[in-house]
């Protein structure tokens, strides 16, 4: 074997491969050619900026991972490094694997940048985040890109109670970057049997505050926005509009119709769930899916007050919202990351007494007053009145009192 | 006999049973038989005109009867019939 020094090895490599100048690469890309462009630099170099359509495979992983991105040995593969030396050497290794059209970029990323062409500075996980979310990023369905989507997402929770607690905790742990919480209630001892966001020390505190503390303790990445007010027709659109997805965990029908209608008007997916005693229901209404029903498609009219008992009357197994709220979190994460099949058009019925999970088909109602073909409800209405309750409009502070009357 | 899944709010009328076996050629007949077995159930399910209340859905297996033949939807012995009322349980908001 002949002895080569560094320069001789590079010269040999360059004689055996194809090299393109940045201008040539640009022309090929502009012509719309399908090129696999691979950035083989180290991570800290890649995050400073890279070619717009490039895939990041550090040099040490190139041969091991290239087939995941391009299996076709005849397809052109462009590789680049910082200055064109490492990529020339790496190109030979791909040729050994049978890749026939490996091109090394002359001058590498610096050459590209100096030619004045566009490059992208990626959003990447910090060192801490890479460790924190490593069990996520290793899932090929999520990966680092999926985790970044979660970090950039905003989810609104209606209620920090039984359902909102586990949902908030898992969404926060999963790294959903912004969690809004609508709740004007304070923590009561009787909540602690199921509302795992709050603890003994929080009794008497506003739920949004104890929720914020608990969430920050779990994951400082998460920004918590507290909306400490009842959600009403006057503020619902304003509150919901800045979020990507809404999780409903409210305990009363006026709020359920209100949140449904507001989500429909704003085009926000709604992960809806309710619980009673040992039984739960979960489904997703997505106004962006033409076939998705909404809450009103399932339940065109509310039950008359008092006809359907509340949890305060009937009771609820403390673990039940833990299951159901966690399922809401799963659905939210799936939709935010764009993976799997959301629970749209399907109503999941859970009975924890016989431990049965059944999925029923639910359909869009073409005559639905909100999402149907000829909508008759096109703005938020008085939902207390719609549900046969005394309207709270005239009594800004009357809402809790009236709700309590209904529950009693 | 078809198996009928009783939702929690109605179980006080069925002596706590979550599943009951009911005879009937179609949903309407099945509900009549159910009401004879457990008086008062139909009052909770049907409105004054005999239609299913608008906050209740009835399913034969996976499908809502509104997408089939309503109360005339035929039922056979192996079918599972679910009654699903609107529930609001959750947090006080
Ligand atoms: Zn609808």
A273-294 pLDDT tens trace: 999 999 999 999 999 999 999 9
B15, B88 in Cβ contact below 8 A? no
pLDDT at B90 (0 to 100): 56
Say which CATH number the domain at B59 has: 3.10.20.30
Q: For residue B5, report the phi and psi dihedrals to the nearest 5 degrees.
A: -90, 120
Residue B76 lies in a domain: yes
Per-residue pLDDT band at A397 (split at 50, 70, 90): very low
The full set of domains in chain A, from first to last, is 6-114 (3.40.250.10), 153-407 (3.40.50.720)
Residue B91 lies in a domain: no
Give this prediction's pTM. Answer: 0.79
Distances (CA, A) of A363 to A35, A220, A297, B83: 43, 40, 7, 16
- The mean pLDDT value for A83-87 works out to 96
Per-residue pLDDT band at A251 (split at 50, 70, 90): confident
pLDDT at A395 (0 to 100): 40
Residue B90 lies in a domain: no
Helix (H) or strand (E) holding A45: helix A43-46
- The mean pLDDT value for A252-278 works out to 96
- A–B CB contacts, 8 A cutoff, strictly below: 136
pLDDT at A391 (0 to 100): 67
Instruction: Calculate what percentage of chain A has a pLDDT beyond 70.
Output: 95
Residue B48 lies in a domain: yes
Asked whether the beta carbons of residue B54 and residue A301 sit closer than 8 angstroms, the reply is yes
User: What's the CA-to-centroid distance between A381 and ligand 1, angstroms?
Assistant: 15
Per-residue pLDDT band at A304 (split at 50, 70, 90): confident
A192 touching B (Cβ < 8 Å): no
pLDDT at B91 (0 to 100): 53
Asked whether the beta carbons of residue A161 and residue B53 sit closer than 8 angstroms, the reply is no
Asked whether the beta carbons of residue B9 and residue A321 sit closer than 8 angstroms, the reply is no
User: What's the CA-to-centroid distance between A124 and ligand 1, angstroms?
Assistant: 39
Domain range for B62: 2-85
Per-residue pLDDT band at A389 (split at 50, 70, 90): confident
A137-157 exposure pattern, b = at least 16 Cβ within 10 A, e = fewer? beeeebebebbbbbbebbbbb
A122, pLDDT greater than 70: yes
Look at strands A356-361 and B63-64 and give their pairing.
Answer: unpaired
ipTM higher than the 0.90 cut: yes
Q: What are the helix (H) ranges across A267-397?
A: 295-298, 311-314, 320-337, 383-386
pLDDT at A405 (0 to 100): 31
State the total domains in chain B. Answer: 1
Residue B33 lies in a domain: yes
Residue B55 lies in a domain: yes
Comparing A389 with B63, the larger pLDDT belongs to B63
Residue B40 lies in a domain: yes
A402 touching B (Cβ < 8 Å): no
Residue B93 lies in a domain: no
Q: Which of A351, A354, A384 is the best mutation test for B, with the most CBs of B within 10 A?
A: A351
Asked whether the beta carbons of residue B18 and residue A250 sit closer than 8 angstroms, the reply is no
pLDDT at A358 (0 to 100): 95
In chain B, which stretches have pLDDT less than 70?
90-93
């Amino acid at each position: 074997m002949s002895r080569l020094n560094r320069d001789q090895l590079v010269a040999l490599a360059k004689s055996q491969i194809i090299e393109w100048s940045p201008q040539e690469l640009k022309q090929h890309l502009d012509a719309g050619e399908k090129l696999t462009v691979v950035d083989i630099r180290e991570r800290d170099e890649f995050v400073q900026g890279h070619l717009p359509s490039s895939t990041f495979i550090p040099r040490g992983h190139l041969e091991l991972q290239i087939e995941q991105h391009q299996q076709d040995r005849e397809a052109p593969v462009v590789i680049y490094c910082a200055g064109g030396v490492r990529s020339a050497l790496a190109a030979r290794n791909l040729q050994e694997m049978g890749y026939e059209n490996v091109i090394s970029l002359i001058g590498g990323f610096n050459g590209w940048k100096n030619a004045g062409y566009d490059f992208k500075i990626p959003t990447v996980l910090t060192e801490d985040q890479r460790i924190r979310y490593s069990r996520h990023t290793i899932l090929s369905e999520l990966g680092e890109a999926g985790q970044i989507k979660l970090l950039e997402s905003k989810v609104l929770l209606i209620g920090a109670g039984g359902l909102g607690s586990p949902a908030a905790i898992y969404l926060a742990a999963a790294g959903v970057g912004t969690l809004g919480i609508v709740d004007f209630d304070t923590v009561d001892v009787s909540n602690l049997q199921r509302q795992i966001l709050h603890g003994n020390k929080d009794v008497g505190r506003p739920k949004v505050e104890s929720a914020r503390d608990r969430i920050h303790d779990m994951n400082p990445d998460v920004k918590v926005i507290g909306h400490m007010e009842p959600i009403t027709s006057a503020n619902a659109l304003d509150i919901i509009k800045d979020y990507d997805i809404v999780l409903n965990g409210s305990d009363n029908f006026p709020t359920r119709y209100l949140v449904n209608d507001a989500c429909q008007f704003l085009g926000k997916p709604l992960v809806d769930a309710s619980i009673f005693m040992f039984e739960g229901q979960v489904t997703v209404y997505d106004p962006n899916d033409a076939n998705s029903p909404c809450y009103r498609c399932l339940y065109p009219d509310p039950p008359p007050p008092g006809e359907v008992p509340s949890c305060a009357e009937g009771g609820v197994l403390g673990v039940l919202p833990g299951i159901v709220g966690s399922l809401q979190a799963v659905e939210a994460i799936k939709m935010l990351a764009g993976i799997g099949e959301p629970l749209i058009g399907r109503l999941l019925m859970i009975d924890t007494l016989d431990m049965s999970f059944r999925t029923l088909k639910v359909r869009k109602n073409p005559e639905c007053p909100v999402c149907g073909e000829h909508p008759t409800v096109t703005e938020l209405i008085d939902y207390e009145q719609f549900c046969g309750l005394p309207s709270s409009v005239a009594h800004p502070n009357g809402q809790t009192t009236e709700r309590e009357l209904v529950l009693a | 006999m078809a198996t009928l899944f009783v939702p929690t709010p109605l179980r006080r009328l069925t002596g706590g049973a979550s599943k009951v076996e009911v005879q009937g050629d179609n949903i309407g007949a099945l509900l009549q038989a159910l009401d004879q077995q457990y008086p008062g159930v139909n009052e909770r399910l049907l409105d004054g005109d005999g239609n299913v209340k608008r906050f209740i859905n009835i399913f034969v297996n996976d499908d809502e009867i509104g997408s089939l033949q309503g109360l005339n939807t035929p039922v056979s012995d192996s079918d599972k019939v679910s009654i699903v009322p609107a529930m609001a349980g959750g947090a006080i908001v």
